[in-house]
Amino acid sequence: MAPKLGIVAGSGGLPAKLAEKCRETGRPYFVLAIEGEADPATVAGAPHAWVRLGAAGTGIKLLKEQGVVELIMAGALKRPSLASLRPDWRAAKLYAKVGLRALGDDGLLSAVIKELESEGFTLVGVDSVLTDAVATEGCYGRHRPDAQAEVDIAHGFRVVDALGVLDIGQSAVVQQGVVLGVEAIEGTDALMRRCGTLRREGPGGVLVKAKKPQQERRADLPTIGPQTVDLAHQAGLRGIAIEAGGSLVIDRDEVAARADRLGLFVIGCRKPS
């Protein structure tokens, strides 16, 4: 049997999907829910404990007591300020080691992963458990991008690549060659809402989402789900393009069904290497 899985639960629907998968396959698991981030519905009925993001020592102790061997980080964590983090001794030691002054999410997550591995945990990616969630190449559903949308998608991937290198964000919205918005810490949902008010007349824009080039695969892979399709539709977008192999699609069938119903395309694109 697979070893006990510890799920460090940030925001969004991913932690719940992982817990569900564990139950389905009979795999033992434990959810370490991050206060202010994890959805309480995620942990309802699951073996779990709540911890502050700054309480690294408590978290590690709990996971060890639970006999967790493999560890997975699921869902986004808002990077807090040092002041609000109130790091415990363990966390403070880590921050002192990595230096926080000019560190983006990516640098921080890599450091956290390294530290957890030094504690004896094996960090695995969400894609190793939800194997069927990794974005595949080609269209989900029956709608396809037209020539203008293809130009917007290509430009969008150039933009998110540049954002990613600087560890800024994973998403951009492009309409008719114009970058309507780019994501920093506000997240993809807020980006789309804003772009709904910034859009121009004529054919709508495209949401493009990709992994940061240097991103640690075991943390915070770009993720879309049915709700992303709804929000894209509300923002007047025509479609969503994600990085095949480098992002996650939650509820693939529902994503395709909803895209078909709302008239959007959802496409996985292999990044040119």
Q: Is 271 in the site for a second copy (CB under 8 A)?
A: no
From 49, 124, 198, 257, residue interacting with a second copy (rule: CB under 8 A):
198
Asked whether 201 and 233 are in contact (CB, 8 A), the reply is no
Binder of a second copy out of 176, 227, 245, 254 (CB under 8 A): 176
Residue partners of 66: CB distance under 8 A and separation at least 6: 4, 6, 30, 47
The minimum distance between CB 215 and a second copy, in angstroms, equals 15
Q: Which of 53, 76, 180, 264 binds a second copy (CB under 8 A)?
A: 180
The residue from 181, 222, 246, 268 that contacts a second copy (CB under 8 A) is 181
Q: Spell out, one character per residue from 54 to 93, where the chain touches a second copy: x when CB under 8 A holds, - when not.
A: -------------------------xxxxxx---------
Dihedral angle computed from the Cα positions of residues 246, 234, 168 and 185, in that order, rounded to the nearest 10 degrees: -120
CB 6 within 8 A of CB 71: yes
Q: How far is the CB of 175 from a second copy (least distance, A)?
A: 8
From the list 14-22, 110-118, 136-144, 155-163, the region that binds a second copy by CB under 8 A is 155-163
**Count of residues touching a second copy (by CB under 8 A):** 43
Min. distance of Cβ 112 from a second copy in angstroms?
Answer: 15
State yes or no: residue 98 binds a second copy (CB under 8 A): no
Q: Which residues pair with 171 in a beta bridge?
A: 209
- Of 2 and 178, the one with the shorter C-beta distance to a second copy is 178
Residue 175 touches a second copy, criterion: CB under 8 A: yes
Min dist CB 220 to a second copy, Å, is: 14
Q: How far apart are CA 219 and CA 116, in angstroms?
A: 13
Are 75 and 37 in contact by the 8 Å Cβ rule? The answer is yes
Place of tokens 């493009």: 208
148 is a contact residue toward a second copy (CB under 8 A): yes
The tokens 């539709």 sit on which residue? Answer: 233
To a second copy, the closest distance from the beta carbon of 174 in angstroms equals 9
Task: Give the closest residue to 22 by CA, choosing from 48, 49, 46.
Answer: 46
Identity of the amino acid at 43: V
For residue 194, give the amino acid letter. Answer: R
Burial of 45 per CB tally in 10 Å (0-12, 13-18, 19+): exposed
* Chain residues that interact with a second copy, rule: CB under 8 A: 79-84, 100-105, 148, 151-152, 154-155, 158-159, 162-163, 165-169, 172, 175-182, 184-186, 194, 198, 200-202
